[in-house]
């Protein structure tokens, strides 16, 4: 069974540009999560989808971040415009229902904003 | 709100020595506890988890962790480490679909 995949693995952009990160969850997993680790600090929750609906987006830092999950399959996280402090590793995770199930993480996308 | 504290940011040990990576959590509700490992240049991998039942949980590669409710701890231990255990280890608490992570502990195993 394929795991959670993320694309790209690395992205280097300049401040003010737009970047879109993609996450493909494990097939059949209704729950999809985005997390971020900035500058070696703790991994922080960004948001949670159940199928195509946003269940909890309390961790989204500001309105420059937009997450979508069309059709309840893959998800994208767009940062527009990117700022220096957005640099970090963005992790995606998925899990089946219920919410107590283990979250399976992807390899992450390392974003560097110059 | 829940929080997770990993008490050591760096743990250097010699090969075949025992190791303990400490994790404390705080939560007003029941949580599920996890240890994840991130090897160099790889993603997060689940190492072991406590959901319910026996408070001692084990992984396939010799790690174990004990859930201690009275001390709100979930320390990770291994009686004899290998060079290949060098990695960053994260303790996490899951509640209502949201994982809260500690800052991570870098375990460096030296020959």
Measured between beta carbons, the chain A residues lying within 8 angstroms of B90 are 43
Cβ separation of A102 and B46 shorter than 8 Å? yes
Buried b or exposed e, range B43-63, using 16+ CB within 10 angstroms? bbeebbbbeeeeeebebeeeb
- pLDDT 10s digits, A23-35: 999 999 999 999 9
Cβ separation of A56 and B99 shorter than 8 Å? no
Decide if pLDDT at B68 tops 80.
yes
Q: Which residues of chain A have pLDDT under 70?
A: 1, 98-100
Mean pLDDT along residues B70-91? 95
Cβ separation of B104 and A105 shorter than 8 Å? no
Give the integer Cα–Cα distance in Å for A65 and B51.
33
- pLDDT 10s digits, B5-51: 999 999 999 999 999 999 999 876 677 899 999 998 788 999 999 88
Nearest CA in chain B to A34: B98
Q: Testing the interface with B: which of A103, A106, A110 to mutate, by most B Cβ within 10 A?
A: A103
pLDDT confidence of residue B105: 96
What is the SS3 assignment for chain A? CCCCEEECCEEEECCCCCEEEEEECCCCCCEEEEEEECCCCCEEEEEEEECCEEEECCCCCCCCEEEECHHHCCEEEEECCCCHHHCEEEEEEEECCCCCCCCEECCCEEEEEC
Decide if pLDDT at B107 tops 70.
yes
**Among partner residues B43, B100, B104, which is closest to A105 by beta-carbon distance?**
B43
């Amino acid at each position: 069974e394929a795991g959670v995949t993320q694309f790209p693995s690395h992205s280097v952009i300049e401040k003010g540009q737009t970047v879109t990160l993609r996450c493909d969850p494990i097939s059949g997993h209704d729950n999809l999560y985005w997390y971020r680790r900035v500058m070696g600090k703790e991994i922080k929750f960004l948001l949670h989808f159940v199928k195509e609906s946003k269940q909890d987006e309390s961790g989204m830092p500001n309105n420059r971040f937009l997450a979508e999950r069309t059709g309840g399959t893959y998800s994208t996280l767009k940062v527009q415009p990117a700022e220096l402090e957005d640099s970090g590793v963005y992790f995606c995770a998925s899990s089946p229902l219920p919410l107590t199930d283990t979250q399976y993480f992807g390899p992450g996308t390392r974003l560097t904003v110059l | 709100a829940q929080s997770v504290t990993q008490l050591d940011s760096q743990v250097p040990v010699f090969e075949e020595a025992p190791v303990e990576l400490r994790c404390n959590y705080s939560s007003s509700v029941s949580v599920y506890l996890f240890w994840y490992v991130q090897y160099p240049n790889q993603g997060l991998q689940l190492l072991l988890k406590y959901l319910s039942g026996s408070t001692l949980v084990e992984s396939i590669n010799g790690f174990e962790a004990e859930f201690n409710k009275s001390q709100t701890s979930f320390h990770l231990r291994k009686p004899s480490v290998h060079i290949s255990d060098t990695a960053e280890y994260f303790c996490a608490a899951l509640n209502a679909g949201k994982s809260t992570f500690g800052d991570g502990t870098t375990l460096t195993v030296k020959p």
